[in-house]
């Protein structure tokens, strides 16, 4: 879209005509002499006609130059398509348990029974896709904790690498403390920009490996302002085949250390959630969305490119041309006046 930043400048377009009219009236009032009839002017009619033609061209160039100069002063500009201002979101780390117990098939996805990790991938992937504007990182932990994806705005990469994770990738045990410590380290390494720091940690067991106690790691997280939401995943009741025939009910989440997970969340200002099925897990991630809302995009803006230099350059070129034409005309008149009379 084309526009003028100062359109009121166009009011100056008729100024030369007004000035010419006022000057002409002033000259006519001062002209008080007695004119004597003479035939000397008829000899110059042919030269005057050529001069008038040249004058008309000079007048036309002057008009165009003045119009371009005024348009340039009005600052023409091209306004581009509206762009959204990037939002300054939070630093959000996801820590996902890949220990052997995540292979327990006590969740349903659609109409089929799946293991805990498969359900986690599906729900967490949707959660990541909704976090527009946040810098998201991914930590995978089992017996050891690994930074799979550093904090990034590339949500698609986080989703892809999350979906490629598999049980046992980081060992069979669970190092909750090491996962929190790794998140604290990555948050601490970030430049201080005032962004909120959040860790969503999902596990189905207790801390059975690693070098750092989970509560000690939570204290470190509190010191750097890292808020932790912990999610305990796993059904409370599951029907399995009995060795003596028939079926019996077991608690597949007997090893889940809810007390520690609750303490971690409370110590850092977060919350503990219990996911017993896929629907519950989806509800938890939606609740996290509400507790840590995505920043709304700021009002869009349109990039503006100034174009005043084009008409200004055109006016300058025409002014130079007028000067050259005037100079050549003066030279021609002088040379013509100095020629000897052939008679």
Q: Is the pLDDT of residue 88 over 80?
A: no
Joined together, the tokens standing for residue 123 give 């729900």
Q: What is the phi/psi pair of residue 158, to 5°? A: -60, -45
3-state DSSP of the chain: CEEECCHHHHHHCCHHHHHHHHHHHHHHHHCCCCCCCCCHHHHHHHHHHHHHHHHHHHHHHHHHHHHHHHHHHCCEEEECCCEEECCCCCEEEEEEECCHHHHCCCEEECCEEECHHHHHHHHHHHHHHHCCCCEEEEEEECCCEEEEEEEECCHHHHHHHHHCCCCCCCCCCCCHHHHHHHHHHHHHHCCCCCCCEEEEEEECCCCCCCCCCHHHHHHHHHHCCEEEEEEEECCCCEEEECCCCCEEEECCCCCCCHHHHHHHHHHHCCCEEEECCHHHHHHHHHHHHHHCCCCCCEEEECCEEECCHHHHHHHHHHHHHHHHHHHHHHHHHHHHHHCCCCC
Compute the distance between CA of residue 26 and CA of residue 9 in angstroms, rounded to an integer: 27
Residue with tokens 């029974």: 113
Reported as a single tens digit per residue, the pLDDT across 125-138 is 999 999 888 899 99
Q: If you average pLDDT over residues 92-112, what whole number do you get?
A: 90
Q: Is the pLDDT of residue 5 over 60?
A: yes
Reported as a single tens digit per residue, the pLDDT across 290-311 is 888 876 555 556 778 888 888 8
Reported as a single tens digit per residue, the pLDDT across 65-77 is 888 998 889 888 8
Q: If you average pLDDT over residues 75-87, what whole number do you get?
A: 70
Return mean pLDDT, the chain. 82
Q: Where do the domains of the chain lie?
A: 2-20+48-80+303-338, 86-298
Between 311 and 86, name the one with better pLDDT.
311
pLDDT band at 149 (very low <50, low <70, confident <90, very high): very high
Question: With left for phi above 0 and alpha for psi between -120 and 50, is residue 57 left, alpha or beta?
Answer: alpha
Most confidently modeled of 93-97, 247-251, 316-320? 93-97
Q: Is the pLDDT of residue 332 over 60?
A: yes
The overall pTM is greater than 0.75: no
Between 314 and 27, name the one with better pLDDT.
314
Most confidently modeled of 12-26, 110-124, 181-195? 110-124
Residue with tokens 């932990």: 141
Give the rounded distance of the alpha carbon of 252 from its chain centre: 46
Q: What is the predicted pLDDT for the residue at 175?
A: 94
Q: What is the predicted pLDDT for the residue at 343?
A: 41
Q: Is the pLDDT of residue 86 over 80?
A: no
pLDDT band at 7 (very low <50, low <70, confident <90, very high): confident
pLDDT band at 99 (very low <50, low <70, confident <90, very high): very high
Among the listed ranges 224-228, 245-249, 273-277, which one has the minimum average pLDDT value? 245-249
Q: What is the predicted pLDDT for the residue at 42?
A: 45
Q: What is the predicted pLDDT for the residue at 51?
A: 53
pLDDT band at 342 (very low <50, low <70, confident <90, very high): very low
The dihedral through the CA atoms of 328, 334, 338, 343 has a sign that is: positive
Between 67 and 189, name the one with better pLDDT.
67
Q: Is the pLDDT of residue 237 over 60?
A: yes
Name the CATH topology of 86-298.
Rossmann fold (3.40.50)
CB 180 within 8 A of CB 214: yes
């Amino acid at each position: 879209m084309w526009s003028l930043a100062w359109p009121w400048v166009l009011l100056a377009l008729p100024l030369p005509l007004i000035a010419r009219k006022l000057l002409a009236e002033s000259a006519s009032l001062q002209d008080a002499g007695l004119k004597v009839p003479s035939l000397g002017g008829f000899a110059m009619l042919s030269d005057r006609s050529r001069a008038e033609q040249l004058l008309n061209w000079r007048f036309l160039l002057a008009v165009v130059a003045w119009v371009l100069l005024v348009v340039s002063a009005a600052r023409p500009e091209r306004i581009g398509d509206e762009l959204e201002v990037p939002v300054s979101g939070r630093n959000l780390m996801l820590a996902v348990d890949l220990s052997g117990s995540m292979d327990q098939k006590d969740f349903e996805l659609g109409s089929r029974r799946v293991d805990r990790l498969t359900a986690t991938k599906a729900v967490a992937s949707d959660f990541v896709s909704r976090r527009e504007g946040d810098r998201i990182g991914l930590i995978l932990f089992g017996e050891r904790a690994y930074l799979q994806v550093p904090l990034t705005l590339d949500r698609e990469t986080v989703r892809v690498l999350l979906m490629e994770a598999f049980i046992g990738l980081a060992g069979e045990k669970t190092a909750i403390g090491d996962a929190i410590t790794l998140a604290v380290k990555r948050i601490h390494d970030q430049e201080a920009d005032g962004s909120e720091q959040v860790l969503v940690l999902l596990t189905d067991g207790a801390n059975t490996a690693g070098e750092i106690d989970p509560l000690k790691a939570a204290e470190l997280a509190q010191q750097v302002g890292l808020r932790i939401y912990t999610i305990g995943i796993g059904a409370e009741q599951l029907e399995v085949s009995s060795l003596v025939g028939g079926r019996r009910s077991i608690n597949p989440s007997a090893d889940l250390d809810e007390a520690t997970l609750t303490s971690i969340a409370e110590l850092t200002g977060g919350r503990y959630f219990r996911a017993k099925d896929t629907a519950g897990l989806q509800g938890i991630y939606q609740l996290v969305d509400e507790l840590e809302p995505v920043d709304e995009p700021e009002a869009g803006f349109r990039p503006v490119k100034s174009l005043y230099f084009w008409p200004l350059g055109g006016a300058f070129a025409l002014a130079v041309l007028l000067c050259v034409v005037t100079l050549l005309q003066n030279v021609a008149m002088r040379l013509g006046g100095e020629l000897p009379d052939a008679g």
